Every structure is written in C-alpha cells, then in structure tokens.
Amino acid sequence: MSLASNISRRSWAVWQRNKDVFFKTWKTNFLPPFLEPILYLLAMGFGFGMLIQELPPPWDVYTYAEFLGPGLIAISAMYGAFFECTYGSFVRMHYQKTFDAIVATPLTIEDVIAGEILWGATKSFINATIVALVVAAFGLMSFPDFLVIIPLTFLVGLVFGAIAMMFTALVPNIDSFNYPFFLFITPMFLFSGTFFPLEILPQVVQDIALLLPLTHTTILMRSFGLGVYGSIDLISIAYLLVLTLVTFYAAVWMMRRRLVN
C-alpha cells in the first residue's frame, strides 16, 4: 500500500487531540509569542537599531526595527513547528506511547504523522500570527499587505514540521535533537536575512543561504510585511511548496520505517 493512500481525513483526530492539550493551558501558551517579539523589538529593533545609521540598499529607506520585524515573524514560524515536531512529537511517540495507542484504532501510522505535522504547522500559524500582530501594533508593517503573512505561516509550518519529523524519525534519544538545533536551526536563525540583510555577505554565502528554507521564509515575510512584493516572491512560494511535498512524504516514510516492524 502506498503512503499517500494511508493518509486519510482521520488525521484530524490527531490534530484535534493536540489542539485540546494546547488549549488546556492556552494562557501560558500564548504568552511567549506575545512577549518575545516585544522584547526583541525593544532591545534589538529600537535599542541596537540606534547604532545603525543607514541600512545598505535596497533597505536604506527603512529603519532597522522595520527591517527586523518580518525576520522575527519568520523565526517564530520556524520554531513553532520545529519544536512541536521534534520534542513534542518525540515525547508523544517515545515516552507517552500516544502513537501506539492511536494506531490501535482505525488510524494508520501515516495518519498519525500527517496529523502531527498539521498540528506543528498550526503552532507556527498561531505563534507567528501573534508575532505579526505585535509587530504591526508597533506600526512597523504595511497594512493590509502584511495580512498575506498569516496564511503563509501555515505553509512555513508545514515545511519545518516535516523537516523536524524527519529528525524525529532518526534520533536515538531526545538529547540528540541538539544536533539539528545547533547545526541546522541556529545557523539559519542567524544567517537567513533575519537580523541583517544578506546583501552584505560574500556572494558564495548568499548563494548557500538561498538554499535554506528560512531565507525564503524571511524574504516572503519582509516582502508582504513591508508591502514591497513582486513576482520574484513566487519563486520563494514555489520553493516552499515543493519542499513541503518532498519533506512531508519523506517524513511519513521515515517514521513508518522507524515505527512499523
């Protein structure tokens, strides 16, 4: 049987399960995505930004806080799903045996993994939307263009959720997540045009950065956040769509290999 035919709408029952747990403690869950961008904007955007006389072109028409805002949204969209589908999914799979309990019902393991990734994407969507609203509240975004960001955060969540799930299928134990975080996530966090324009880096580094999903996420967030989008943004959207399909399929396949024996 093919993987795709084993994914059904029953996946939503997994999504609902995770949503129910999340909303049990929603007040605590909503606090970080609300406070974090405020702290970053105050410290980095307005504090550190004071030191910056002028950004290099084409960003020279913006303040540093305006430049930074979309980067914070992109980071939040990355971390939301990546945390959820690494640590969160691993705990459910390994410690709580939740996956075992669910596959004893009419759901397949493919349903479970699909539901987990969809939930991860939802976490990105929730967190990044809150961040976007906070950044907008500081008057740093172009209205109504920035609203396009909101559905995009779900797509970004699918990519990072699926990539995270691939690591979850591989790690021998929960401590091993340090590797993808320090070798993959943290470098992207710093070098994907989030905190400073890629244009100031050597061409070869820029080329490498353009292979990374967070770079394209940041490009999109900034284009729509500042209202300077164009047909070039379709490349980033196409990149994220293709990467979603490939990583989603790979994640389901790898998890099946890990769990079905």
Compute how many other C-beta atoms are within 10 angstroms of the C-beta atom of residue 83.
21
The nearest distance, CB 26 to another protein, in angstroms, is 14
Q: Is 236 exposed, middle or buried, given 0-12, 13-18 or 19+ CB atoms closer than 10 A?
A: buried
The correct pick among 47, 58, 106, 227 for binding another protein (CB under 8 A) is: 106
Sort residue 55 into left (φ over 0), alpha (ψ -120 to 50) or beta. Answer: beta
Q: Is 106 exposed, middle or buried, given 0-12, 13-18 or 19+ CB atoms closer than 10 A?
A: exposed
Q: Does 102 bind another protein (CB under 8 A)?
A: yes
The correct pick among 23, 96, 200, 238 for binding another protein (CB under 8 A) is: 96
Phi/psi at 82 (5° precision): -70, -40
The correct pick among 97, 235, 241, 245 for binding another protein (CB under 8 A) is: 97
Q: How many residues bind another protein (CB under 8 A)?
A: 21
The correct pick among 86, 89, 98, 127 for binding another protein (CB under 8 A) is: 98
> Measured from the CB atom, is 14 or 135 closer to another protein?
14
The correct pick among 105, 139, 200, 246 for binding another protein (CB under 8 A) is: 105
> Measured from the CB atom, is 20 or 175 closer to another protein?
20
The nearest distance, CB 147 to another protein, in angstroms, is 33
Q: What is the CA radius of gyration of the chain?
A: 19
The nearest distance, CB 87 to another protein, in angstroms, is 14
Q: Is 189 exposed, middle or buried, given 0-12, 13-18 or 19+ CB atoms closer than 10 A?
A: middle
The nearest distance, CB 205 to another protein, in angstroms, is 43
171 alpha-carbon distance from chain centroid? 20
Q: Does 103 bind another protein (CB under 8 A)?
A: yes
Q: How many angstroms separate the Cα of 66 from the Cα of each of 70, 77, 221, 235?
A: 8, 18, 12, 23
Q: Does 11 bind another protein (CB under 8 A)?
A: no
Spell out, one character per residue from 41 to 80, where the chain touches another protein: x when CB under 8 A holds, - when not.
Answer: ----------------------------------------
The correct pick among 104, 204, 211, 232 for binding another protein (CB under 8 A) is: 104
Which residues contact another protein by CB under 8 A?
10, 13, 16-17, 20-21, 24, 96-98, 100-108, 260-261
